[in-house]
Structure 1
């Protein structure tokens, strides 16, 4: 029989004692909170927002967050005891818990999914079953016969005190080994237990210092020098230590010591001499816990007079509008200096004792912004994004709780941080689709969550964009939000000149050099000759969208998804951008054997490759998902471009978002048509935003910038809007169409995606779900089902249903409950066990 987990279970409560229960949020997709009994001795320790350790199921041990403490036992089951209290103070604040509850309800997901996304991995404790030898087992007196596998395990446990189940599998090279474990348990040779590992570990630095007996006075220190004179290598270590630490000025400074690696990494010092001094007790080694974010050297004075007259007026108007409205949209053209206004407002909030969250859509933007903010806020500034390690994220989390960080710059996941005195949220480039989380749940939009954060904490929200989303501008026009305009560029900068290049005509005239028009090549050469910089935008990464056979038209397809494989030349592989499947590029066609394989289309990698052939003297760098996988790669690419170590930057949408480069005077958009023609009601809005944003990178420091847009159809109306910087024309056209055809902001949308490994059951389930929805919501609000453009991803066939819910006159909460009920009714069907339904509220 498998031994029970050996946890301390308290004696029965004394009759007069009050028995407490705790509702906890487990990091699992459970529809309800789970209730545990609080041992009496822990009654004063269990706090709402703190983590506790519980046993869930027969063996699994998990950490979870306390949501409520009360005296009501659950009626449906016998409550188990809490095992342990992890935190002395809450790690999740009250406003956070309210926000998490709202997110679960609004985005139709579970509270466990929200908490799982919110907490850094290092704050989530985990357990794994481990085995060790039974304390009474003796190999000499053992009477049980052992198989070869059992002998291996026993031998390993005699060398090592315990093994995890994973290690047992690796030792035996078996995937199924539980019968062997069970046999050893029945023979009382091993026991199973659970070990909980706290993943977060503080950063520890090893330091050295002189033993205190040598720092009582200067005479004692001088005598030590004399004693070491016959041993020059040890004397060199001591001299270097004294040189690097100010102990001769103040002997007490010896207590702080010196990082050991400063001495051990010095090629002129002997490692054995260092160890000898430690062994003799002349020096001593000790550990110090340090921050992963070292304190800044200080902050410079912030000068409000740095703002131009227009910026100062916009800042004052924002502050005035905040007196009446909690949300304000700053509509400032590209290069108008919105960031300086943000910094001024942040400074005012911090001086008043508040905390500020500065949201950015892309990690690429944080490098530039952080450098500017560090000059003003120094070590009070925290940074939070996905490239940080788990331990770094925990340090930021704890730094906000402790009050160390008053300003945080981060991407969408920053909305989960534990602010307690938030007074201002800034959502820069508020129109960006990057604020939307697609997978996994919760599928939230950080911009929308920011509004609720502000509401729960009594903070103000400032949105900023040169090309606001149609929904945001509509809220301003209808008076729900405040609107501040800033329509002049900072300093002497002017908006760039935008020109169209007709690639169809250029091809007929044989003026195309591969994917570059002669006009674009000439302007690039001219720009580089003036020692200025160029940005080239292509909204597709990789070398080519696909390859095909010139003879039989064979195209390689992903084995898991209904898409062609993209060719990446650097790694010489075909890659699926949806599931990550890769395979080597074939030398000949698998279908007909022909060697006539050619690439079709082009991505950023091909642009970089061809430009190097056309202009070998150019210093070119590429910025896309493939080149920015490493932690600091964004920062390095941007720094190289800022310092003009590179003069041409080729990139995807990453180069369009808020970057500020002083010497860029030319922007080239290589394939504009692929952005416009997209099956989505936001296609024209997104295309306009992309063209204007990437155009705005040019001519920001006084020089007149130029933008060349290559297109096969220059008569597209959207190009005239871009050339004239006509946002209002775009807005009026879009808002009229959306009202006519019932799209946001006039309705709220929910997309339900039905998934199944087979096509026909997927379609059948989607039809049933649509019927359930129509029965509850009516036919007019339910569209579909239909297969999406890409109808298979990761071996799952897809069908989509769109639900439209009126903003006016309807009960949104009740309607969403009906959607959830329809999904649950479908999933209860025993014939549809493999069906999965993904609910996406406010799909982007």
Structure 2
């Protein structure tokens, strides 16, 4: 059944009452805000930044954010009434709204698209949102009294285990449209949980606890129990350990709370079976407790103690001094220089001043390792935010920032959306990373740039950190706009690793290659493993093989949706597209000629892992790429195994290049450097230099002399000399000269237009018309294209690209965006191009 609304206009009680209207941000790609009328009796309920329920279209109901309140009715349509107000306090702050408006304007998207990306799903209610009973709720013993409507919802959810109701079904059940405050009340009472999709159903964190059965708490009963257990020493030991931890006589409530079962079962001198026997015999009671994933108490682990080196102290003082004159400072430190310790000290100072801190990292893998260290310093004041969290966990962090519970948040790019309103310091670590850029869907933002604007709006300072800064960032320091602090030496006794180039072309000619490994790399791996040291191998391609082909007729399997070959994944024994996710079974014979002579071509991380397990049977080899890190806690587990030296060799894609800190790694191998250098992009050399230096920096970080072996078929490439000498300045001078000569950032701004259509000819024609319109408005010299990209079809859409180069002046950029939007509208107004998608990407990476 669909949920419809027949809203009757309330009669005003007095003629002098004010009629209010509110402009709302719907989570939809609408160019303008939509205006709704506030019912008279709700005038006092409306709050900017709060959520309201509205009807949009014939039947759809949505929650949206109030952006403005006024007394002006819309001129072009009859304003519908707001159906319900959910919040009596903002869930989106004024500071956020200002930042979101800037994002919509700068990245040429709608405010609705920004809100849709920013809010966790559980804050975006719609007629298809779902609710389920909280696993900790006991219907027979409710913590809070329930109203009649609340009881009715609970009864409907209790009919079967895990049953869920959509909002549409809740409305039908209660026979009312105004039920959202009932939902909110049940959430606050911990009776239900809210989720958006079936895949997001809440899975709580459960801790098993035990306590002494209440009838044994009395002294006489306990003495009798001791006598009964006199002949069972293992059970008696368990009971004694429990009583040492829980003073049942002094505080009976402490017994009611109990202790974690693991405290007893994990003790080395106690028997887990004895614990279970006591539970079975009714001496101990076992019970489950739902706990927050972000505990309020400080971490029980030992606090992290460290002392800054002389160079770190000097760098920190330099940063603070430059912050007195500049709002943005770049900390340019070689890999392993100890930037994280400086960050921690700066965060401490910011918190002492009463401000909030946002610490951005490019990868979840990095988050997992650094959070452990930060938690030991900042305890319950630290929140963590990234895409592997469930929706309910993200809402918990969101509300924690709003309430002030979390003063420090460490997260990936989406953390810039959190409701900060008193930020005093933003740290963007590994600021050069392309992972900070969102490609699809809109908004196609760069978290580094958004963080800089957030800091600007809130009067905060921003520290950018990198061993290989982006060319644009370093240019700003050279121009004197941003501060620069440099760390040239590694922390402690560690020195920079020795880098060796090995010629794979010569190896193949002389037939000395062992699968995809040169003899030099293999012998060095064997030597390091014999010394009980660890190895990281980097290959920038996942899967077992980039493609397969028939040796008889030349057939190569292609994706049915994209203009790419399918990659072979041996573990799943299937062919996959890395662009759209299409997969197919591995054929036994060629579908074109029937031959069984099929061969895998090339290699990815999966094949390297497979080969190494055969070639180095003494080593424990593990892989870290997109395929092995899909599960929520897989990053943490892989990193923990490597950190604890359970794993000897870690094979990975770009994930292993980004800031990971392992004490026992003494060798890094780059398997195929050439695939990174030879890429059709003006940033190819910059990315290659950054990647080589960053992955090299994983070796020899804690006193051991590290070594890096780079396998290449072209050792004479000019970039390798700069990598070997770790000469960023020489690389920068070379790169900035090229950028200036050919008109690329930082000297020009780039906007890339992509035209998409399921028909190739229509895509080409639409791109030609758009190019003509852009040339008429911006001039021929500013517009390049159109042309088909290297991969010209993705997800069944044919692509055409147009590159627009503009002067960096703000007024020029603002005018150009206006003209670009006008050109887009001209194309969209043509009947034959109605279904074409025209996508603007500002500052593409």
TM-score (norm 1): 0.86
In the alignment, is the contact (CA less than 8 A) between 1:3 and 1:192 conserved in 2? no
Q: Quick check: 1:492 aligned with 2:501?
A: no
Q: 1:214 to 1:38 in 2, by over 3 A?
A: farther
Residue 54 of structure 2: aligned partner: 54
Shift of residue 88, structure 1, vs aligned partner: 2.0
- Provide, for residues 102-152 of structure 1, a one-character-per-residue CA deviation record: whole Å limited to 9, x for no partner: 00000000101100110111111121499xxxxxxxxxxxxxxxxxxxxxx
CA contact (8 A) 2:534 2:648 kept: yes
Do 1:207 and 1:257's aligned partners in 2 also have CA atoms closer than 8 Å? no
C-alpha distance in 2 between matches for 1:337 and 1:227: 57
CA offset at residue 269 of structure 1? 5.1
* 1:364-763 correspondence to structure 2 within 5 Å: 364-763=365-764
CA contact (8 A) 1:436 1:444 kept: yes
Measured after TM superposition, the shift of residue 340 of structure 1 is 0.9
8 Å contact 2:48–2:90 — kept in the other structure?
A: yes
Q: Does the 8 Å contact 2:363/2:435 carry over to 1?
A: yes
| Residue 100 (str. 1) matches residue 100 (str. 2) | yes
Deviations 1:809-839 (A, max 9, x none): 8521121111111112211111212211111
SS across alignment from 1:650: strand
2:74 corresponds in structure 1 to: 74
Instruction: Rate the CA distance shift 1:258–1:514 in 2: closer, same or farther, 3 A.
Output: closer
Structure 1 residue 245, shift from structure 2 partner: 4.5
Q: Is the 8 A contact 1:202 1:391 kept in 2?
A: no
1:252-287 CA distances to partner (integer Å, 9 max, x unpaired)? 54665678999999632567969xx9xxxxx999x9
In the TM superposition, what are the counterparts of 1:19-38 in structure 2 within 5 Å?
19-38=19-38
Match of 1:267 in 2: 276
- Quick one: distance in 1 between partners of 2:701 and 2:671? 21
> Secondary structure at 1:476's aligned position in 2?
helix
Q: Give the SS at the match of 2:777.
A: helix
Match of 1:117 in 2: 117
C-alpha contact 2:84 2:178 (8 A) present in aligned 1: no
Structure-2 separation of matches of 1:810 and 1:357: 31
Q: Note the C-alpha offset of 1:798.
A: 0.4
Q: Is the Cα–Cα contact under 8 Å of residues 127 and 167 in structure 2 kept in the other structure?
A: no
8 Å CA contact retained: 2:385, 2:415: yes
Say if 1:166 and 1:414 are closer, same or farther in 2 by CA, change over 3 A. closer
Contact in 2 for aligned 1:30/1:110 (Cα 8 Å): yes
Q: 1:242 to 1:37 in 2, by over 3 A?
A: farther
Deviations 1:297-332 (A, max 9, x none): 35866767x111111111111101101110001110
Matched residue count: 785
1:257 to 1:607, Cα distance in 2 relative to 1, 3 A: closer
The residue number in structure 2 matching 1:176 is: none
CA offset at residue 691 of structure 1? 0.5
Question: CA RMSD, aligned part only?
Answer: 3.6
Deviation at residue 721 of structure 1 after TM alignment: 0.7
- Deviation string 1:668-698 (CA, Å, 9 cap, x unpaired) is 1110111000000000000000000001111
Structure 2 vs 1, CA of residues 211 and 595 (structure 1 numbering), >3 Å: closer, same or farther?
closer
Deviation, 1:501, is 0.5
Q: What runs of 5+ residues in structure 2 fail to find an aligned partner? A: 131-155, 185-193, 196-201, 266-271
1:565-584 CA distances to partner (integer Å, 9 max, x unpaired)?
Answer: 00111111100000000011
Conserved in 2, the CA contact under 8 Å of 1:38 and 1:82? Answer: yes
Match of 1:135 in 2: none
- The SS at the match of 1:268 is helix
Q: Distance in 1 between matches of 2:713 and 2:262?
A: 61
Aligned to 2:299: 297
More deviation in 73-82 or 782-791?
73-82
SS of aligned partner of 2:127: strand
Unaligned runs of 5+ in 1: 131-155, 169-184, 278-282
Which residue in 1 is equivalent to 2:89?
89
Residue correspondence of structure 1 range 773-812 to structure 2 within 5 A? 773-808=774-809, 810-812=811-813
Q: Tell me if the contact between 1:128 and 1:195 (Cα under 8 Å) persists in the aligned partners.
A: no
Question: Does the 8 Å CA contact 1:356/1:425 hold for their aligned counterparts?
Answer: yes
* Alignment match, 1:335: 336
* CA distance in structure 2 between the partners assigned to 1:837 and 1:549 by the alignment: 38
Comparing 254-263 with 780-789, greater Cα deviation is found at 254-263
Rate the CA distance shift 1:167–1:333 in 2: closer, same or farther, 3 A: same
Deviation string, structure 1 residues 356-395 (Cα, Å, up to 9, x no partner): 1110000000121111111211111111111111111111
Give, in angstroms, the shift of residue 606 of structure 1.
Answer: 0.6
Mapping for residues 115-194 of structure 1, pairs under 5 Å: 115-128=115-128
Q: Partner of 1:788: helix, strand, or coil? A: coil
